[in-house]
Amino acid sequence: MNNSGTTAEELIELASQARQFSYSPYSMFRVGAAVECSDGRVFTGCNVENASYGLTMCAERVALGKAISEGAREFTRIAVIADAKAPVPPCGACRQVISELCGAQVEVVMSDLNGKIETHTISQLLPEAFDKSFL
């Protein structure tokens, strides 16, 4: 549990609820995400596929986009859940976005549908990230 009182399991449950709204007619791979802000607010998202696959929006980026559009700028954790053989990690593009928007030490809580949970920092998942210091 962190400062806001939300447990990892509760954050995963919110991500799981968001997963139910996934629009994934091509892959059938439904993903949900929930991002927790430092003030305790939680924003959720699901993946939204597109026939032009490159335009697909991942659940993590949908949740972060909703949070940013509501003025959130400080994040403590992001959770992701999908029907996979093991806790599902964010894709490479999402790792980059999470790193930039949430910072290197944000916790990434990953789960499968069987309740197995793993937690890593984004810097563990994306070492030596490209950031504004290179610009």
Q: Which entry of 60, 70, 118, 128 is annotated as an active-site residue?
A: 60
CA pair distance 78, 131, nearest whole angstrom: 19
> For this structure, is 60 an active site residue?
yes
* Residues carrying an active site annotation: 60
